[in-house]
Amino acid sequence: MYLANPKYNTEALLANASETLGSATVMLNNFAALLETSHRKTLLGIAQVVMLGELAVNQTLDHVELKE
C-alpha cells in the first residue's frame, strides 16, 4: 500500500511525520472554525489528538538528534 522510502534515515522520517501532523492540526482547526458548535467541538477534539501525536513524534525526534 504505502511505504516510507527505506533510503531515508529515522530523523528525516520523524521530521516529515511531525510536519504532516502539524499540517493536519492546522487543517482541522481551520475546518472546525466553519462548523457549528457540536461539530466544532468534535473536530477540535480530533485536532488535539493529532497534536498529541505531533508532540510525541517531536519528543522522539529530539531523542534521535541527541544520540547522533
Reported pTM: 0.84
What does the alpha-carbon distance between residue 40 and residue 26 come to, in Å, rounded to a whole number? 14
Find the Cα–Cα–Cα–Cα dihedral 20, 23, 25, 29, rounded to 10°.
-160
Please state, in angstroms and rounded to a whole number, the distance separating the CA atoms of residues 66 and 60. Answer: 10
Query: pLDDT tens for residues 1-60?
Result: 778 888 889 999 999 999 999 999 999 999 999 999 999 999 999 999 999 999 999 999
Q: Residue 33 and residue 42: Cα distance in Å, rounded?
A: 12
SS3 of 22, please? helix
Tens digit of each residue's pLDDT (9 = 90 or more) over 12-28: 999 999 999 999 999 99
